[in-house]
Chains A and B, each alone.
Chain A
Amino acid sequence: MLNTAPVVIQFSGVAFSYGSVPVLEHVNFHVHQGEFIALVGPNGAGKSTILKLLLALEEPGKGTIQVLGKSPEEGRSRIGYVPQHADYDKSFPISVYEVIRMGRLQPLKRGWSKVDELAVQRAMEQVEILDLARRPYGALSGGQRRRVLVARALAAEPDILVLDEPTANMDAESEERLYKTLGQLKGKTTILIVTHDTEFVSALTDRVLCIGERTGAEKRAHRLVQHKAAPAEHAPPELFGGAALQVLHDEVEPEDRCCIDTRTIQKGIQP
């Protein structure tokens, strides 16, 4: 189906290496505003590297990346980022409220405005953790900590929400709550969720980007392809807090499929 919404993330011919070890090659993909994208792939395939490139934590060796029409460094302030790990120093004296308020952080600004306080309050309501606000972050369970980090990302009121393995070590109840929150955000916020589960994705997913196939002369780097996903009949019921889609690895879709009017092609009209 033709997606006419503006493109908010664009990777064009991106390659990346850690020293002499190639990780990514010929990575091309784009994400439209309001889309829910699942980026899947096995451990070590380069999913987190793609996020690091997107967040300007790493620079590509080749190719270009655009975030909201700007360079990643300029555009990343509009990204809400939920990192993969939530186990920070448990002895760090900090409350849940203060962690979430970090989402409103600006490079040089001192102090917090009323607008910041309201955004933090709203983020806590969205993730249903108002009751945890005054608790020390180090005293929370793993699932609670992840929800706090989601709230921290939402406190920035981002245009794009990026979640790196958000359900790792999460209990079923927290996972259900997380997908409920993501369901409420779908359409309003662009969501890019990274997961190592290459078989199933949430039913909220619009498109699946799969990374893992080895490419290049020595077959060491990974490339990214787009797969179809279909409703899964045999997905474990506790996954994603509800319905799941099965990733069809045999069916590779063209990278620009969402930008082609399929009805035009079917009628045999030249675009």
Chain B
Amino acid sequence: MNSFFTALVNPAFPFLQNALLASLLASVLFGILGSIVTVKRIAGLAGAISHAVLGGIGMALYLSSTRLVPFITPMAGAIIFAVLSALIIGIVSLKAKQREDTVINAIWAIGMSLGVLFLAKTPGYTDPTSYLFGNILLVSRQDLILLAILDVVVLLLVWRFYPQLEASAFDEEFARVRGVPTNIVFLIILGITAIAVVLLQTFVGIVMVIAMLTLPAGTAGYIGRNLAGMMILSWIFSSIFSFAGLAMSWHYDLPSGAVVVVLSGAVFLGTTAIRMLVLRYQKRRGVTP
């Protein structure tokens, strides 16, 4: 593992420092936004948005390589598709809840299919692997700046509107009665999640980004006493998993995104098993939590 730390301070590997910075910046979103996604139970919605993003990436690559829209970048295409799919899902979820499942699955599948079709028709060979599974070593300085800006936005919003956020996640109807504009809160969460998914896919890829928005938060949810505690713990867990995953992937020459997800998943499953055993023991002993 020493090779990782040596490489980290080696000026010949600036991309590794970028990767570490990206993983730590991503951890803020994995922790804070992931906790909100988890307690609001909108992981399915976020999953659909993240997969639909491939359509946008494919479209952008096709349009730029065929010179139809030469200046469009994969990130711009991804953001267009992410925001559009978030808008459609948000409106359906608020206006026609009974159709939500169908629409989520349709956006999930259509987005990916469009991506595959665009990539197939894009001149030259385009390897979709780095988009699907991420490649943190390709993170640019611009990606880091955008991640940092989104981190600040999320932290500020959560700090400013924590009581309203907590109430609308716990009991949306009651929050509405207390005057909280819950529909706007929901659409803002969905919009920020859409943009976050695009920025985070450089780290773990569009297929696994949803895992990182739920696994550390799920583990933290077992231990945290309240939503704020869950967010902070989830942030800490995400930072540890991201750092350790990056170090392991460097050391063993493995894809970093996959290592981070496997690590997070293993800790989540382990914690779930331990918790079940503890609860069973407490029940047998008649101990109240």
Contact = CB atoms under 8 A, between A and B. Distances in A.
A112 B159 CA distance: 13
Given A94-B226, A139-B288, A102 B179 contact: no
Contacts of B224: 93
Interface string B170-186: 11011111111100000
B11 interface: no
A57 B161 contact: no
A83 interface: yes
Interface in A87-131: 88-89, 91-95, 98-99, 102-103, 105-112
Contact of A107 (B162, B166, B170, B179): B179
Contact of B170 (A56, A88, A135): A88
A95 B289 contact: no
Nearest to B289: A139
B170 A106 contact: no
Contact of B163 (A56, A77, A91, A105): A105
A136 interface: yes
Contacts of B225: 93, 95, 136
Interface string A55-96: 111000000000000000000110101010000110111110
Interface string A224-255: 00000000000000000000000000000000
Interface string A200-224: 0000000000000000000000000
The A interface, classified by DSSP as helix, strand, loop or mixed, is loop
Nearest to B169: A92
A89 B161 CA distance: 21
Interface string B39-53: 101000000000000
Given A94-B170, A94-B227, A105-B167, A136 B289 contact: yes
Give the most central of A92, A99, A109, A112: most B CB within 10 Å.
A92
Give the most central of A76, A83, A98, A139: most B CB within 10 Å.
A98
Interface bracket on B: 20 to 34
A152 B175 CA distance: 12
Contacts of B193: none
A102 B167 contact: yes
A45 to B, nearest CB: 20
Give the most central of A76, A81, A94, A106: most B CB within 10 Å.
A94
A102 B170 contact: yes
A110 B41 contact: no
A132 to B, nearest CB: 10
B166 A76 contact: no
Given A89-B41, A95-B226, A107 B181 contact: yes
Interface string B76-99: 000000000000000000000000
Nearest to B160: A110
Nearest to A134: B225
Nearest to A74: B179
A159 to B, nearest CB: 14
Nearest to B168: A105
B177 A106 contact: no
Contacts of A56: 177
Given A77-B179, A102-B166, A135-B288, 15 more contacts: A88-B171, A89-B39, A89-B170, A91-B221, A92-B170, A92-B227, A93-B39, A93-B226, A102-B175, A105-B178, A107-B178, A109-B163, A112-B163, A136-B225, A156-B178
Q: Pick the 3 closest A-B CB pairs, nearest first.
A: A107-B179, A105-B178, A139-B289
Interface of B: 39, 41, 159-164, 166-167, 169-171, 173-181, 221, 224-227, 229-230, 288-289
18 contacts: A79-B177, A83-B173, A83-B174, A91-B221, A92-B39, A93-B226, A94-B166, A95-B225, A102-B163, A102-B167, A102-B170, A108-B161, A108-B164, A110-B161, A110-B163, A111-B163, A136-B225, A139-B289
